[in-house]
């Protein structure tokens, strides 16, 4: 299995290092053609509006949408979740591939970044909590019927999944806990048999 990591903007290299720890090869994706041969895609954190503009110039947004609709697994973190959301506030274009509504920067600006413990369900294995790094994090305001909540901060969903899509409002690549990356690999392998 080889994963692509959207490498237009944001801290995509930290995801590459996280997957390397699990023995999973990755490669950067900057064009639609570079999606060929990847078994899944990571949409990392960064600045969602900048990422959208850069994707549009290459037609990458349309190709990602097409492939995800055909079943390509995706791990989306922070801004990546915003890119996939059905609806975004303040209003912004998104791909609408995950049935959640999100509010950008709802947990504060850069200066309000935090590291806190979240509760996670048994599918992740291990202890029922994990450390989560929130940086200009979005808030999930609505979760669709086909979306599972895998992690919460208090009552608020912060880690969700729908089929082969796993999405977090935080940055799992910035901690030593690799359970979310492993969960994504397991779901991607299930898709590809």
In angstroms, the CA 189 to CA 109 distance is 36
Instruction: Tell me 4's DSSP state.
Output: E
Q: How much helix, strand and coil, in percent to the nearest 5, is found in the chain?
A: 35, 30, 35
What pLDDT sits at residue 109?
Answer: 55
Mean pLDDT of 31-41: 95
What pLDDT sits at residue 58?
Answer: 83
Question: The whole model's pTM is what?
Answer: 0.95
- Tell me: the pLDDT tens digits for 84-107? 999 999 999 999 999 999 999 876
Q: In this structure, are residues 30 and 4 in contact, taking their beta carbons and an 8 Å threshold?
A: no
Instruction: Tell me 112's DSSP state.
Output: G
The number of angstroms, rounded, from the C-alpha of 135 to the middle of its chain's C-alpha atoms is: 14
In angstroms, the CA 33 to CA 67 distance is 12
What amino acid positions are annotated as catalytic residues? 78, 171, 173
- Tell me: the pLDDT tens digits for 106-163? 765 554 578 999 999 999 999 999 999 999 899 999 999 999 999 999 999 999 999 9
Complete domains list, the chain, with CATH: 3-192 (3.40.50.880)
- Tell me: the pLDDT tens digits for 43-70? 999 999 999 999 998 899 999 999 999 9
Adjacent-strand bridge partners of 162: 165
In angstroms, the CA 6 to CA 178 distance is 19
CB within 8 Å of 112: residues ≥ 6 apart: none
What pLDDT sits at residue 113?
Answer: 73
């Amino acid at each position: 299995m080889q994963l692509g990591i959207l490498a237009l903007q944001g801290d995509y290299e930290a995801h590459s290092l996280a997957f390397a720890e699990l023995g999973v090869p990755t490669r950067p994706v900057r064009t639609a053609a570079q999606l060929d041969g990847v078994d899944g895609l990571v949409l990392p954190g960064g600045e969602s509006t900048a990422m959208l503009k850069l994707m549009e110039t290459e037609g990458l947004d349309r190709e990602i949408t097409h492939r995800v609709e055909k079943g390509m697994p995706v791990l989306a973190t922070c801004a990546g979740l915003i890119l996939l959301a059905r609806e975004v506030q303040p209003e912004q274009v998104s791909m609408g591939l995950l049935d959640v509504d999100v509010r950008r920067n709802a947990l504060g600006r850069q200066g309000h970044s935090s590291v806190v413990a979240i509760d996670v369900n048994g599918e992740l294995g291990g202890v029922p909590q994990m450390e989560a790094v929130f940086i200009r994090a979005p808030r999930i305001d609505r979760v669709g019927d086909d979306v599972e909540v895998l992690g919460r901060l208090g009552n608020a969903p912060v880690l969700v999944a729908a089929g082969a899509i796993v999405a977090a409002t935080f940055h799992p690549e910035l901690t030593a806990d690799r359970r979310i990356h492993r969960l994504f690999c397991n779901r991607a392998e299930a898709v590809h048999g």
